[in-house]
Structure 1
Amino acid sequence: MKRRTQWLLSAVFLLIGFMVAVQFQTTSHETEMRDTRDVWEVREDLKTQQEHQQDLLEKIAGADQTIENYEKQSSREQVETLKGSIETLEKKIGLQKKKGAGVELTIRPIFDEGAGGQEYPSVSPHLVSRLFNELNTYGAEDISIGNERLTNLSPVRDVNGATYVNNRPIGSLPLTIKVLAEDPEKLQDHMKASPTQDIFNIDNMEIVFEVKEQLVLPKYDDPLHLEILEEAGG
């Protein structure tokens, strides 16, 4: 029992460290990407960094509370607490399916293939990344595109002219993107007013939004190389 508890405790700390590292990596990357900014952009960026910092502090406080609770419990209670912590952390980083209210986006061509001499459109990695960034800015909590769950480590790239997410092609139009949010209607309103819609229109695409009470997002399937979790559960 003691050895099993040690594995579980190690797994929790590993997951917490992974989340903090990913958050730090994302924050650093966003800061490096901007070279020229006006005063308003600097203020917005500062606000974003402060929010990231607050989020990290809350994660650290949560980890401290877990340790404190763990030390006060019996061996059986310790195991149950740690299992619950692992499950919560897995949900946060996308290792489990997630349900909730949100907005479903459908990206589809404005004109049918061949109509008016228009070439059938496809979504570039740049457009996908821009869309994801705006969704996150306006309150998205979890995102999936097709059958791919998005995480802070999900690569969006071009492979021989096709857009890949999580090292798999997203496919052709129409594309479905599911977004969980605390306030889906507010997120939808922000996105409808966003210039991203106009940018998609230029490339013969439109985004249709629909608020839904229940959406189911798939889990992130790619390995995270956290072998310790398998040993903890064995």
Structure 2
Amino acid sequence: MDKHKKNFSFIAISAVIGFMIAIQFQTVKEPVERDTRDLWQLREALLQEKELQSELLSEIRSIEEKLLAYESKQKQSKEQALRDTIEELKVEAGLTEVQVPGLTLRIEPILEDIQIGAHVSKDLSPELLKRLLNELNMYDAKYVSVDGQRIINTTVIREITNETKIDGHALSKFPIEVKVGVDNFEVAEKLYNRIKASKATEEFFTESLKLTISEPIPEVTIPAYDNPIQIRYLESLKANEGGNT
């Protein structure tokens, strides 16, 4: 009996040792696909991930603070909480004027081309303007106006009768000012550095246009959106529908 126990113990111990060796071998085995990026590329990727994580955490904290503030205001005054929420939504929708840190971009024809008689585009093309706005949004621009026209989610930029128009407003005269607002001055500086290093100025140059980017300032005024907003697929709720009224 003792002999059988010893054999069984030996087999069990051997199995455990073999299993551990197999796991260790699997752990140290080289992966099938190797990461071919160099050290600087890996550092850059890590930095981007850290920036993204920081932005997400900041956004989560902001939302949590808003929820706490909203709950606190609800306890104090439901009516005031509702008014504050409406005002906040108006700001987010672009229906109020804002004064925030930011910078100004200036678009005008290249003077040298005018002097030598080269062909200069009469208007800023919709495609070039859209590319610029997309790039600004990519660099965390929050409030934008072009030639005094506030840009919001429903803004329409297109060419009508050979003129570029923003919600019906014609961009027919140079220079054209693009005002950009952000949450804080640090973001404004980051946006300035990124847009300066981008290919935006080169793209405008190929269209015989000069894009001048001013240094960030503590306060720029972005006007409110003053056109009627078209609301589709929504209907007003009747008094006897949708809950207690």
TM-score, normalised relative to structure 1 = 0.65
1:78 offset after TM fit, Å?
1.3
Shift of the 71–115 alpha-carbon distance from structure 1 to 2, 3 Å rule, reads closer
1 CA distance for matches of 2:131 and 2:204? 11
Shift of the 58–171 alpha-carbon distance from structure 1 to 2, 3 Å rule, reads farther
Asked if the contact 2:124/2:171 (under 8 Å) is kept, the reply is no
1:88 offset after TM fit, Å?
1.1
Alignment partner of 1:162 is 2:163: yes
2:81 alignment partner AA: T
1 CA distance for matches of 2:61 and 2:202? 37
Pairing 1:214-225 to 2, within 5 Å after superposition: 214-225=219-230
1 CA distance for matches of 2:230 and 2:162? 29
1:26-83 per-residue CA deviation (whole Å, 9 max, x = no partner) reads xxxxxxxxxxxxxxxxx9xxx9xx9xx999989987886687556534xxx1111111
2 CA distance for matches of 1:64 and 1:189? 34
1:172 alignment partner AA: K
1 CA distance for matches of 2:212 and 2:167? 24
1:199 offset after TM fit, Å?
1.0
Shift of the 177–57 alpha-carbon distance from structure 1 to 2, 3 Å rule, reads same
2 CA distance for matches of 1:165 and 1:61? 36
1:194 alignment partner AA: S
1:198 offset after TM fit, Å?
0.7
In structure 1, what is the equivalent of residue 85 of structure 2?
85
1:120 offset after TM fit, Å?
2.8
Aligned length: 179
Asked if the contact 2:113/2:208 (under 8 Å) is kept, the reply is no
In structure 2, what is the equivalent of residue 96 of structure 1?
96
* Structure 1: 4+ residue segments shifted above 3 A: 53-73, 225-228
1:212 to 209, 213, 217: 217
Pairing 1:186-201 to 2, within 5 Å after superposition: 186-201=190-205
Unpaired segments of 5 or more residues in structure 2?
A: 1-44, 237-245
1 CA distance for matches of 2:74 and 2:104? 43
2 CA distance for matches of 1:108 and 1:135? 18
1 CA distance for matches of 2:127 and 2:62? 31
Instruction: Compare CA radii of gyration and give the structure with the larger one.
Output: 2
2:110 alignment partner AA: I
2 CA distance for matches of 1:94 and 1:58? 23
1:110 alignment partner AA: I
1:218 alignment partner AA: P
1:166 alignment partner AA: D
**Secondary structure at 1:198 match in 2:** helix
Higher deviation after alignment, 113-122 or 138-147: 113-122
1:113 offset after TM fit, Å?
6.8
1:164 alignment partner AA: K
Asked if the contact 2:150/2:224 (under 8 Å) is kept, the reply is yes
1:196 offset after TM fit, Å?
1.8
In structure 2, what is the equivalent of residue 72 of structure 1?
75
1:156-198 per-residue CA deviation (whole Å, 9 max, x = no partner) reads 1010111111221123221000001232121111111111211
Asked if the contact 1:143/1:150 (under 8 Å) is kept, the reply is yes
In structure 2, what is the equivalent of residue 128 of structure 1?
129
Pairing 1:99-110 to 2, within 5 Å after superposition: 99-110=99-110
Higher deviation after alignment, 114-123 or 173-182: 114-123
In structure 1, what is the equivalent of residue 29 of structure 2?
none
Instruction: Give identity over the alignment, percent.
Output: 27
